[in-house]
Amino acid sequence: MKNPLLIVALMITTIIAIWGIVDTPGLADFAKKTVATEFTSRAWFIMLTVSFLLITSIWLAFSKYGALKLGKDNDEPEFSTLSWLAMLFSAGMGVGLLYWGTAEPLTHFLSVSDFDDSKTAAETALFLTNFHWGFHAWAIYAVTGMVIAYFSFRLEYPSLISSPIICVFGQTRLPRIVGWIADLMAIVAIAIGLGGSVAMGVFQVKEGIEVLFGLQDTGFGLTLGVFSVLCLSYILPLTVDLGKGMALLSNAAMLVAGALLIYLLLMGPTYFLMGGIVQGMGEYLGSFFVHGFRTFTFMDDKVGNWFQSWTLTYMVWWLAWAPFVGVFIARISKGRTIREFLICVITIPSAFSVLWFGVFGGLGFYGILNTDLPILNVVRDNISGVTFYVLDQFPLSSVTTAAVILAAFLFLVTSVVSAAFVLGMFSTGGDLNPSTRIKLSWGFILGALGLVMILSDSIDAVKSIIALGALPFVFIVLLLVVCFLKALKKERI
Amino acid sequence: MNNILDTIMNIQVFAFIGLLIWLYFKPDRKDLTDEHKKK
């Protein structure tokens, strides 16, 4: 067999895709039960892992190792700091932020308002959202990216998840087997995670089109239509080498999203939004560390279920994306020091998330607390449409709605193309130019997995399936950290 | 949740954490250390 990893990875993801298409409720049910068992039993371990990754990042950034370069000692950064920061933004600013911008804080508001008055509930809801998208999430990405960059650029190993394991423990049989399994798990986690994002993006674009053109009851037809256009849109970029074209598309999406943020901040109740952002930032900085260890063990089942379906799901979702985003941020960070890398990757995108949710969530809270708009009913009945409902309350809503559709679509295309590239690279032993045939195969599988998630027609099912794919990666990321710390011991500083 | 399943799942985690700690402190093979220093 020429490339067993590629064949096994394609087989596993194809089987999951076929299972999901033939028996969508069966797969969703299996995912929900398995993930619930895992979350009940190992919640403490997942929270401890993400807190450990953050603490390790802070220690490394301020230790003597912080001065080490992710590259040879005389390597200089490839991109200017400003351009590097912009690319970090675009890596974190996927379709998820567009989808959840208003929806997530308001969903937490609904849950928390059962226990608190509405003003305190808004504060807590914003804190929880900031926590899910903040330092812990970015520490997962940063550690994975740092390990990949260190072994690739400083020790000259291929950009693979298995490289640190083989470098540190040698080319003997056991490290090679463990490395092979780690690569396989990373591939499965990326493929399933991407499938989930495709589904979320398609749901949102479909809702946006309905709002923009005043369509009603389009059923499944429009969803499948959007999905088909998406598949057609990424086939061409997969067959030609667009070089920096994809980065341009991604930056264009980022610009549209940034313009939307500024527009809403200025057109909306600016005093309220800025007040919310500053307060949200303070609440977050004051409590993020303790919250990272919170497992809600002594609370009732309702809170426990909320914790599993949000906090734990998010943490494993970031783990699912870690190899993909890690490779991306590693590639753009050659020549940076560990200190600079960790501080910037963890703090800057987190600060942007606080700003983003402060504006989008703040608009929702303003509507709930100061107007009679039935926003919470929209959250209950149609979560994919919440952002558009809020945009509809402002001037030029057709322009802003079109902007969200455009940005979501661009993010989707660039994510799928980049993921197909990374999957091609991982499954061919680190080949930096995987063949068109391999990239198209992965593009096809990502589309099929996206279709599975779309057919499930439930964002909860999507979240469970992603968590199922990502869970083994909790173990891999810790093993990578040990490899990295062992390698650091040999550095002469 | 089934207690036995819970116990088994957590024993796996404890064993894994133990393995990581052992791997961290385990002395490296000399050939690997030399190769690393060369790079």
Query: What's the whole-number mean pLDDT along residues A19-26?
Result: 84
Residues of B in contact with A305 (CB under 8 A): none
Q: What is the chain A residue with the closest CA to B32?
A: A170
Q: Tell whether the model's pLDDT for residue A409 goes beyond 60.
A: yes
| B35 confidence band (pLDDT: 50, 70, 90) | low
Distances (CA, A) of A420 to A99, A160, A230, A493: 22, 15, 14, 39
Tokens 């753009």, located at residue: A332
B20 at interface of A, judged by CB pairs closer than 8 A: yes
Res. A25: pLDDT tops 70: yes
Chain B nearest-CA distance from A221, in A, is 41
Contact B10 A485 (CB under 8 A): no
Torsion of CA A422, A425, A430, A435, to 10 degrees: -150
d(CA A251, CA A259): 12
The per-residue pLDDT for A90 is: 66
- Vertex A129, ends A205 and A412: CA angle to 5°? 25
Alpha carbon distance A307, A299 (integer Å): 10
Rounded Cα distance between A14 and A21, Å, is: 10
Whether A29 has a pLDDT exceeding 60, the answer reads yes
User: What confidence tens digit (pLDDT) does each residue in A366-388 have?
Assistant: 999 888 888 888 888 888 888 88
pLDDT band at A212 (very low <50, low <70, confident <90, very high): confident
Disruptive mutation site among B9, B21, B31, B33 for chain A (greatest number of A CBs within 10 Å): B9
Nearest chain A residue to B12 by CA: give it: A42
Distance from CA of A350 to the nearest CA of B (A): 29
A41 contacts B5? CB cut-off 8 A? yes
* A114's tokens: 């059962």
Question: Mind listing the pLDDT tens digit for each residue in A217-261?
Answer: 777 888 889 899 888 888 888 887 655 666 777 778 888 888 999
Contacting residues of A for B9, CB less than 8 Å apart? 37-38, 41-42
Residues 6+ apart with CB under 8 A from A89: A254, A348, A349, A352
Report the alpha-carbon distance of residue B6 to residue A41 in Å, rounded.
6
pTM of the model: 0.91
Q: Which of A145, A1, A30 lies closest to A10 in space, CA to CA?
A: A1
Report how many helices (DSSP H) and strands (DSSP E) chain B contains, helices first. Answer: 2, 0
Task: Enumerate the residues of chain A whose CB falls inside 8 A of the CB of residue B31.
Answer: 170
Give the CB-side neighbour count of residue A37, counting CA atoms within 13 A: 16
Is residue A379 within 8 A of residue A103, CB to CB? The reply is yes
Q: Which long-range contacts (C-beta less than 8 Å, at least 24 apart) are formed by B8-12?
A: B9/A37, B9/A38, B9/A41, B9/A42, B10/A41, B10/A42, B10/A45
Give the chain B residue nearest A72 (alpha carbons): B39
- How far apart CA A262 and CA A98 sit, in angstroms, is 14
Residue A232 to residues A21, A118, A415, A437: CA-CA distances in angstroms? 20, 45, 14, 16
Question: Would you say A105 and A129 are in contact if contact means Cβ atoms under 8 Å apart?
Answer: yes
**Least confident among A153-157, A270-274, A316-320:** A316-320
Which among A38, A486, A490 has CB closest to B37?
A490
Least confident window among A6-10, A122-126, A296-300, B13-17: A6-10
**Which ranges constitute the DSSP H helices of A308-458?**
313-331, 338-370, 375-381, 386-391, 397-426, 436-456
Q: Tell me the pLDDT tens digit for each residue of A423-450.
A: 888 888 887 778 888 888 888 888 888 8
The CA distances from residue A282 to A116, A258, A285, in Å, are: 20, 23, 5
- Res A6: pLDDT: 81
Residue A336 φ/ψ region, left for φ over 0, alpha for ψ in the -120 to 50 degree band, beta for the rest: beta
In A148-187, the residues whose Cβ lies within 8 Å of chain B are 154-156, 167-170
